[in-house]
Amino acid sequence: MPGQEPSPCRPSQAHSVAAPARAPETDNRLTLERAATGLACRVTAVRAARGAPDWERWLAEIGFLPGESVRVTARGLWRDGPLVVRIGDSTFALRRAEAACVEVEPL
């Protein structure tokens, strides 16, 4: 997205890349980052952040695929803290920038 810096997707890259990028507040699409805690959703698309083309593939590898049910189960204490996300039978901690790549719709 215009004006955003790339941020790490994989934990092993966290030490070498800038702070997480965020979707613009005027953007109307619902992303996992913006979904209410506990809201049951369905993944509609996964889009890699500019400067991090491997994010889309990595998120797909761990189960973030269109049609999958997903739910944010907890949020970090700080505004930019990680999200705990349940998809299928798996639970992951995602950085907010990673969660912003996952477009969802409420079920």
DSSP bridge pairs for 84: 74, 93
Q: What is the pTM of this model?
A: 0.72
What is the reported pLDDT for 29?
86
What is the reported pLDDT for 10?
40
In the CATH hierarchy, which fold is given to the domain comprising 28-88+100-106?
A: SH3 type barrels. (2.30.30)
What is the reported pLDDT for 24?
41
Domain boundaries, the chain: 28-88+100-106
**End-to-end Cα separation, the chain, in angstroms:** 27
Q: Are 70 and 64 in contact (CB under 8 A)?
A: yes
103 pLDDT more than 90: yes
**Which has the higher per-residue pLDDT, 35 or 18?**
35
Q: Are 58 and 15 in contact (CB under 8 A)?
A: no
b/e for 91-107, b at 16 or more Cβ within 10 A? ebebbbbbbbbbbbeee
Residues of the chain with pLDDT > 70, as a percent, come to 75
**Separation of alpha carbons 105 and 16, rounded Å:** 33
**Which has the higher per-residue pLDDT, 99 or 24?**
99
**Separation of alpha carbons 8 and 55, rounded Å:** 9
**Which has the higher per-residue pLDDT, 16 or 75?**
75
